[in-house]
A and B are shown apart, each in its own frame.
Chain A
Amino acid sequence: MTRNIIEVSDLSVAYAHNPVIWHINLAVKANSRTAVVGPNGAGKSTLIKSIMNLNKPLSGKVEINGKKPKHALKNIAYVPQKGEVNWDFPTTVLDVVLMGRYVHKGWFKRMNKADVAAAMDALSTMKMEAFKDRQISELSGGQRQRVFLARAICHDADFYIMDEPLQGIDITTEKLIIDTIKALQAKGKSFLVVHHNLDTVEEYFDHVIILNKSVIAQGTIEEAWKKENIDKAYDDRSVTT
């Protein structure tokens, strides 16, 4: 478990000239469950978006499996933070999950039985088969989150990046998601997950990155998940703007 799936070196990102994160150096181990924690506005989503090549950094470099993010997208399944999709869009649960197949099929081929079977598998993993024909706007928040997880599973990537998948969901769904993550890890997958609940970090993850504008600490839970590091990240005085 020593190979790095992501390496970030000296990454700085700004929105309209206001730097948000700076001089980020970090590594995510292959086959790990890595949590990213830090207070609101710490730059967690910004970091994730840079890794996904969704914004333009001021400086620095991201490598995924030794490649530029652009060329590694096929291998990453991304679950966006809640509220970033158009809920009025006319589409069913099954359709959303099928979107995870495009990267494999190429854009101009029709979905076939095998794709639908893969999507149904993913739905059953998330216990959502019964909802397959439901319009997505007619789901509860937790059910929506499960659908996006199912889409990521259907994507069948080696590496999953999730921005707060546990936000606003009940304990049953939370357990289901974490169990799924652990099961996928056993199959060799890797995870980078933005996480808010400090009480469950140890239980749910094996690695952690503590972030507040820059990296406060990183490593295995034993190495990095220490009171002084957490205090440093969440101490109000250290937070600017």
Chain B
Amino acid sequence: MIDVLTSYTFLIVAIGTVILAFACGIVGTVSVIKGQSLIGDAIGHATFPGIIFAFMLVGVMETYTLALGAVIFGIFAFFTIQIITDSSKVTLDSALALILSSFFGLGMALKSYVQGHPGFSGTQGIDDYIFGQAAYMLRTDVYLIIIASVISLLLFMLFYSHIKIYVFDPIFSKSVGVNTGLMNFMILSMTIVLIAVGLKAVGAILIVNLLIAPGVIGLLWSNRFPMVLIIAGFSGAVSAFTGTYVSTVYAGFATGPSIILAMSILVLLSMVFGSKGLLHTHRKRNQGVVS
């Protein structure tokens, strides 16, 4: 089992998932703080039919085409949510639930059709996009992940101060010259693109966990934004490595669930032991120093 660690294929795949989780952790923390975690969930599910449409159009499982299909459906879902909430009395959480389930339902229907249709071949691979199967990741899948993650991280670093002020105090940020529309657009595009490239590794159902759980962990340990981001990035990375390892060594374990399991253990530990976690607040309360 140890030789897995030195196997070339494993290393390539692990590098991909680790970098992906690191970037998702950092970008996703913004949604966590803005209280918009479920938007990522809806978009994640909504990308699934995009994958299948893209496959139906070109007839082969080609990395870039499928990712493009996912991005297009992610954007489509986002704007549908906007239109629903802006033009009707439907609340945001209902709109999110509606879009999440109806898009994913569409995806499942398309999947059955495609897999039952003799005209399409190699359709088994579609299943990998539901729960993620890092072991079947191709070199190009990994390259795409690395490109998207590195670009997201660089943009995030470049606009770090803008993002920070924008998320904390949008009106003030506008008054000091931050282009709030651009910031919003940038965060959203990064989220959609990271979801799209990460689908094969983690799957449409669970990808939201990669965006949300790290931020939750970070917030349980620190009350300083840069520190929260770093903790988020690294807890994502550690979970991704563990999950990828487990799913490579034990056949039958999908990668997505394995990563999410590792992440959930970290969340649980942080909830109990974190400096803002249960034990700590409990102790503070007993000492009567809760502020």
* Residues of A that sit less than 8 Å from B by CB: 49, 52-54, 73, 76, 78, 80, 84-86, 88-92, 95-96, 99, 102-103, 107-108, 134-135, 138
Contact A86 B169 (CB under 8 A): yes
Contact B219 A90 (CB under 8 A): yes
Contact B161 A85 (CB under 8 A): no
Q: How far is the CA of A7 from the CA of B33 in the complex (A)?
A: 39
Contact B225 A89 (CB under 8 A): yes
> Do A54 and B175 form a contact, CB below 8 Å, given A90-B222, A90-B224, A135-B223?
yes
Interface residues of B in 159-178 (CB under 8 A from A): 161-162, 164-165, 167-172, 174-177
CB distance from B3 to the nearest CB of A (A): 42
Q: How far is the CA of A117 from the CA of B291 in the complex (A)?
A: 27
Contacts of B219 in A (CB 8 A): 90
Q: How far is the CA of A110 from the CA of B195 in the complex (A)?
A: 31
Q: How far is the CA of A151 from the CA of B215 in the complex (A)?
A: 27
> Do A80 and B169 form a contact, CB below 8 Å, given A86-B33, A91-B224, A102-B161?
yes
Contact B171 A99 (CB under 8 A): no
Partner of B223, one of A53, A73, A92, A103: A92
Contact A88 B33 (CB under 8 A): yes
> Do A80 and B171 form a contact, CB below 8 Å, given A88-B35, A90-B33, A90-B223?
yes
Closest residue of chain B to A139, judged by CB? B291
Contact A52 B175 (CB under 8 A): yes
* Residues of B that sit less than 8 Å from A by CB: 33-35, 158, 161-162, 164-165, 167-172, 174-177, 218-219, 222-225, 227-228, 291
> Do A92 and B224 form a contact, CB below 8 Å, given A54-B174, A73-B176, A107-B161?
yes
Contacts of A52 in B (CB 8 A): 174-175
Contact A90 B228 (CB under 8 A): yes
> Do A102 and B225 form a contact, CB below 8 Å, given A80-B171, A85-B168, A107-B162?
no
Contact A89 B167 (CB under 8 A): yes
CB distance from B80 to the nearest CB of A (A): 22
> Do A84 and B177 form a contact, CB below 8 Å, given A90-B33, A90-B219, A90-B225?
no
Partner of B172, one of A88, A99, A107: A99
CB distance from A15 to the nearest CB of B (A): 14
Contacts of B174 in A (CB 8 A): 52, 54
In the complex, 22 of the A-B residue pairs with CB atoms within 8 angstroms, ordered by the A residue number, are A52-B174, A54-B171, A54-B174, A54-B175, A73-B176, A78-B172, A80-B171, A80-B172, A84-B170, A85-B168, A85-B169, A86-B33, A89-B33, A90-B223, A90-B224, A91-B224, A91-B225, A95-B225, A99-B172, A134-B291, A135-B223, A138-B291
Give the 4 A-B CB pairs with smallest separation, nearest first.
Answer: A135-B223, A85-B169, A89-B168, A78-B175
Residue in B165, B219, B222 whose Cβ sees the most chain A Cβ within 10 Å? B165
Closest residue of chain A to B34, judged by CB? A86
Extra inter-chain contacts (18) besides given A84-B169, A89-B225, A90-B223, CB under 8 Å = A53-B175, A78-B172, A78-B175, A84-B171, A85-B169, A86-B33, A86-B168, A86-B169, A88-B33, A90-B33, A90-B224, A91-B225, A92-B224, A99-B172, A99-B176, A102-B161, A108-B158, A138-B291
Q: How far is the CA of A102 from the CA of B218 in the complex (A)?
A: 25
Q: How far is the CA of A188 from the CA of B170 in the complex (A)?
A: 29
Contacts of A91 in B (CB 8 A): 164, 168, 223-225
Q: How far is the CA of A86 from the CA of B165 in the complex (A)?
A: 10
CB distance from B226 to the nearest CB of A (A): 9
CB distance from B103 to the nearest CB of A (A): 29
Closest residue of chain A to B291, judged by CB? A138
Contacts of B162 in A (CB 8 A): 107
> Do A102 and B172 form a contact, CB below 8 Å, given A73-B177, A86-B33, A88-B33?
no
Contacts of B218 in A (CB 8 A): 90
Q: How far is the CA of A162 from the CA of B10 in the complex (A)?
A: 58
CB distance from B162 to the nearest CB of A (A): 6
Contacts of B291 in A (CB 8 A): 134, 138
Q: How far is the CA of A2 from the CA of B177 in the complex (A)?
A: 29
CB distance from A213 to the nearest CB of B (A): 23
CB distance from B175 to the nearest CB of A (A): 4
Q: How far is the CA of A102 from the CA of B172 in the complex (A)?
A: 12
Closest residue of chain B to A155, judged by CB? B176
Contacts of B165 in A (CB 8 A): 99, 102
Contacts of A108 in B (CB 8 A): 158, 161
Contacts of A54 in B (CB 8 A): 171, 174-175
Closest residue of chain B to A81, judged by CB? B171
Closest residue of chain B to A52, judged by CB? B175
CB distance from A239 to the nearest CB of B (A): 26
